[in-house]
Amino acid sequence: MAQQLAWLGLGNMGRGMCKNLVEKGNLSKPLIIFNRTQKRADDLSEKLGAGKTKVGSSVDDAVSRSDIIFTCLGDDSSINDVIATAMQSDVKGKLFVDCSTVHPDTTKTLNKIVTGKGARFVACPVFGAPAMAEGGQLVTVLAGPKEDVDQVKPYTKGVMGRADIDYSGQAPENASLMKVIGNTFILQMVEALSEGHTVAEKCGLGTDNIHAFLELMMPGPYVAYSTRMRQGDYYKREEPLFQVDLAIKDANHALNLATASGAKMNSVEVAKKHLQDVKAHAGEKGDIAGIYGAVRQESGLKYEN
Known catalytic residues are 179
Element of type H or E holding 177 = helix 173-203
| Distance, CA of 161 to CA of 183 (rounded, Å) | 17
Residue 79 has phi, psi (to 5 degrees) of: -70, -35
| Distance, CA of 242 to CA of 92 (rounded, Å) | 35
Long-range CB pairs of 195-202, under 8 A, 24+ apart, other chains included: 195/295, 197/226, 197/229, 197/230, 197/292, 198/292, 198/295, 198/296, 198/299, 198/301, 199/299, 201/301, 202/299, 202/300, 202/301
